[in-house]
Amino acid sequence: MVCKLKKSLYGLKQSSRQCYKCFDSFIRGKNNTRSHYDSCVYHNKLPEREYIYLLLYVDDTLISFKSRSTIDKLKKDLSSEFEMKDLGEAKKMLGMEIERDRRSGKVSLTQKEYLKKVLQRFNINSDTKSVNTPLAPHFKLKTTISHTTVEEREYMTRVPYGSAVGSLMYAMVCTKPDLSRPISMISRYMHDPGRGHWEAVKWVLQLSRVP
């Protein structure tokens, strides 16, 4: 005997997929086109030859267009099909803060709060001297398999090396491309880092504080 689900249940492996398929079917039925480059980006060319964009991430949605009435119409269409909550003007998304300078017509993304939490998590004090060199010349990174002592290996088992590098990678991908070079270096030693590598990671953490 088996049971056939007629609707997806939250928490199942395929729930997110079924949710996306439902949203995709609805939004494309409203004359929106899915991007060929990112399946979570939709756009619609309006009669005035301008595009309205809708960006989806799991159950969070951003709508971008210059006309408030057009945005409100799309929101009304979405709320008629899905249970949703309008949070108003977007200020934060996926750990990124959205800053607007309406006078100059500019929008910028920052991760100040995210990086602040990362520094606190890895015990980098706010009064620690910041750095602005990607990796100082005194860091001579190399594979440590035959160079570390038993004591050093035991010490490194208690060091969150991989977590720190991963946290920095997210900042690099989103708003800190200047971290690309040092992160490409420290991520090479994930399998067997030593104290010297951990010192390099802490250097990059300090570098991430520079605006």
Distance CA 153, CA 31 (A): 58
| pTM, entire model | 0.74
Residue 97: Cβ within 10 Å count: 16
Q: What pLDDT sits at residue 183?
A: 93
pLDDT band (50, 70, 90) for residue 105 = confident
Total Cβ atoms within 10 A of residue 26: 15
Task: Report in angstroms the alpha-carbon separations of 82 from 27, 39, 76, 191.
Answer: 11, 19, 10, 45
Q: What pLDDT does 49 receive?
A: 80
Nearest to 134 by CA among 171, 178, 187: 178
Secondary structure in 3-state letters for 82-147? CCCCCCCCCCEECCEEEEEECCCCEEEEECHHHHHHHHHHCCCCCCCCCCCCCCCCCCCCCCCCCC
At 127 the pLDDT is 66
Q: What is the pLDDT of residue 150?
A: 80
Q: Quick one: which of 138, 139, 135, 147 has its CA closest to 192? A: 147
pLDDT at 147 over 60: no
Q: Residue 200 CB: number of other CB atoms within 10 A?
A: 22
Residue 149 CB partners (closer than 8 Å, separation 6+)? none
SS percent in the chain: helix, strand, coil, step 5:
40, 15, 45
Whether the per-residue pLDDT at 102 is higher than 90: the answer is: no
pLDDT digits (tens, 9 = 90+) for 150-170: 888 888 889 999 999 999 999
The tens digit of pLDDT for each residue in 1-52 reads 888 877 777 777 788 888 889 899 999 998 899 999 999 999 998 887 888 9
